[in-house]
């Protein structure tokens, strides 16, 4: 039974004799795949914002399978959905940050991605690719002896290698400023609200693991991180109806 067809069964204890009864109600549908707050527009990594079809791609920067899928996105989907591509104007791909809290550094790396999206929107995807290539540096063991400040400093150095000098003024300084803890004891950083949005989006849609891909709002379980050009070409040919 698919997610969209599942029914939520609610059990209730009856008033007489402790008998149990149940009623069925339809599950709430997944949120619209087109929902994206304005500050996160750079997360549209391929295609045009008004494209009628949507691929929501949930990735974690410290997930090896997410890294594998990211490479396929860059070599297959970006050209296919971009200018001159067969599906330009028909399909867009949205990077959905999928923080996995069992990896302690996951929050920090996704904060960094969102910070780059703020200071240099066009650099979000290149920075994401660079972070995937360097992901082993942010795995559990390598980061186990680092403080949050040290991890953020490493991420700032990586951003400095990717983000064009001079973009948004002092890019390195602007990036670092977004990751400085606020004055209140538990206030987070300047991109915490963006991070909360992405986590809430995943939670309300029942996304538990990375990578997960939605096609027009429904989980596409057939999509695999091992897919190459052949599989993606066949998938798009079967799904695109405009």
What ranges make up the beta strands (E) of the chain? 7-13, 20-26, 44-46, 53-59, 91-97, 212-215, 218-219
User: Taking the model in full, what pTM does it have?
Assistant: 0.85
Query: Which residue bears the tokens 């790396």?
Result: 109
121-174 confidence digits (pLDDT tens): 999 999 999 999 999 999 999 999 999 999 999 999 999 999 987 644 567 789
Instruction: Tell me the average pLDDT across 71-93.
Output: 98
Domain borders along the chain are 31-239
What whole-number distance in Å separates Cα of residue 139 and Cα of residue 142?
Answer: 6
CATH H-level superfamily of 31-239: Glutaredoxin (3.40.30.10)
How would DSSP label each residue in 86-112? TTTTTEEEEEEE---TTSTTHHHHHHH
Bridging pattern class, strands 91-97 and 212-215: unpaired
Instruction: Tell me the average pLDDT across 226-237.
Output: 98
**Angle of helix 148-162 relative to helix 171-178, nearest 10 degrees?**
150
**Would you state the structure tokens that stand for residue 183, as one six-digit string?**
């004055």
Bridging pattern class, strands 91-97 and 53-59: parallel
3-55 confidence digits (pLDDT tens): 333 333 333 334 334 444 443 333 434 444 458 999 899 999 999 999 999 99
Give percent above pLDDT 90 in the chain.
79
What whole-number distance in Å separates Cα of residue 168 and Cα of residue 178?
Answer: 13
């Amino acid at each position: 039974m698919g997610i969209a067809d599942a029914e939520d069964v609610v059990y209730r204890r009856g008033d007489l004799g402790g008998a149990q009864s149940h009623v069925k109600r339809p599950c709430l549908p997944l949120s619209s795949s087109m929902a994206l707050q304005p500050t996160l527009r750079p997360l549209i990594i391929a295609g045009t914002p008004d494209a009628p079809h949507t691929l929501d791609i949930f990735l974690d920067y410290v997930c090896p399978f997410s890294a594998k899928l990211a490479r396929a996105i860059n070599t297959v989907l970006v050209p296919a959905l971009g200018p001159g591509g067969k599906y330009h104007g028909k399909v867009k791909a949205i990077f959905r940050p999928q923080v996995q809290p069992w990896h302690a550094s996951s929050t920090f790396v996704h904060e960094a991605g969102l910070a780059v999206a703020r200071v240099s929107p066009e650099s979000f995807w290149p920075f994401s690719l660079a972070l995937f290539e360097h992901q082993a540096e942010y795995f559990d063991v390598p980061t186990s002896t680092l403080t949050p400040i040290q991890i953020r400093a490493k991420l700032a150095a990586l951003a400095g290698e990717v983000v064009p000098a001079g973009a948004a003024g002092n890019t390195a300084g602007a990036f670092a400023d977004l990751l400085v803890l606020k004055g209140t004891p538990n206030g987070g950083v300047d991109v915490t609200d963006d991070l909360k949005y992405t986590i809430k989006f995943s939670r309300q849609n029942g996304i538990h693991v990375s990578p997960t891909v939605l096609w027009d709002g429904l989980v596409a379980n057939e999509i695999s991180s091992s897919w190459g050009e052949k599989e993606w070409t066949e998938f798009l040919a079967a799904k695109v109806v405009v």
